[in-house]
Homo-oligomer: A and B are copies of this chain.
Amino acid sequence: MAKQKPRTLSGFLELLPEKQVQFDRMVEVLRRCYSLYGFTPLDTPLIEASQVLLAKGGGETEKQIYRFTKGDADLSLRFDLTVPLAKYVALHYADLAFPFRRFQIGKVYRGERAQRGRFREFYQADIDVIGDGKLDIVNEAEVPAIIYSTFTALGLRRFQIRVNNRKILNGFYAMLGLGEQSAAIMRTVDKLDKIGPAKVRELLTETELALPPDAAGEILNFMAIKGGNQEVLSALEGYRGRHPLFDQGLDELSTVVNYLAAFGVPEGHFVVDLTIARGLDYYTGTVYETAMLDHPEIGSICSGGRYDNLAEYYTDKQLPGVGISIGLTRLFFVLEDQGYLNQGMNTAPADVLLLPMTDQLSTAIAAATALRQAGIRTQLYTEQKKFKQRMSYADKLGVPFVLILGEDEIAQEKVTLKDMATGQQQTLPLEEAAQQVLAYLRQFDQMTPIIDT
Oligomeric state, in copies: 2
> Counting CB contacts under 8 A, is A88 at the interface?
yes
**Which of A183-191, A283-291, A370-378 is found at the contact surface with chain B?**
A370-378
**Which of A160-168, A309-317, A333-341 is found at the contact surface with chain B?**
A309-317
- Identify A40's interface contact among B20, B42, B44, B97, CB under 8 A: B20
B45 touches A21 (CB 8 A): no
- Identify A365's interface contact among B91, B111, B262, CB under 8 A: B262
B316 touches A37 (CB 8 A): no
- Identify A7's interface contact among B35, B49, B96, B393, CB under 8 A: B49
Listed residue (A6, A70, A92, A377) with the most chain B CB atoms within 10 angstroms of its CB: A6
Docked complex: A132-189 residues within 8 A CB-CB of B: 134-136, 138-139, 142, 145, 149
- Identify A349's interface contact among B101, B145, B382, CB under 8 A: B101
> Counting CB contacts under 8 A, is A36 at the interface?
yes
Number of interface residues of A (CB under 8 A): 100
A263 touches B369 (CB 8 A): yes
Answer whether A259 and B361 are a contact pair too, CB < 8 Å, given A6-B52, A379-B38. yes
> Counting CB contacts under 8 A, is A17 at the interface?
yes
> Counting CB contacts under 8 A, is A410 at the interface?
no
B44 touches A14 (CB 8 A): yes
Cα A97 to Cα B350 in complex, Å, equals 13
B9 touches A45 (CB 8 A): yes
B377 touches A36 (CB 8 A): yes
A313 touches B45 (CB 8 A): no
Answer whether A75 and B9 are a contact pair too, CB < 8 Å, given A66-B68, A70-B111. yes
B314 touches A4 (CB 8 A): yes
Q: How far is the CB of A314 from chain B (nearest CB, A)?
A: 4
Q: How far is the CB of A145 from chain B (nearest CB, A)?
A: 8
Listed residue (A40, A264, A393) with the most chain B CB atoms within 10 angstroms of its CB: A40
B87 touches A6 (CB 8 A): yes
> Counting CB contacts under 8 A, is A327 at the interface?
no
B37 touches A71 (CB 8 A): no
> Counting CB contacts under 8 A, is A15 at the interface?
yes
When distances are taken between beta carbons in the complex, the residues of chain B under 8 Å from A87 are 6-8
When distances are taken between beta carbons in the complex, the residues of chain B under 8 Å from A294 are none
B92 touches A47 (CB 8 A): no
Cα A314 to Cα B2 in complex, Å, equals 8
> Counting CB contacts under 8 A, is A55 at the interface?
yes
> Counting CB contacts under 8 A, is A197 at the interface?
no
A365 touches B314 (CB 8 A): no
A393 touches B37 (CB 8 A): no
> Counting CB contacts under 8 A, is A16 at the interface?
yes
Q: How far is the CB of A420 from chain B (nearest CB, A)?
A: 14
- 10 interchain residue pairs of minimum CB distance: A38-B379, A68-B68, A38-B350, A40-B349, A4-B55, A262-B365, A97-B396, A12-B45, A138-B382, A6-B91
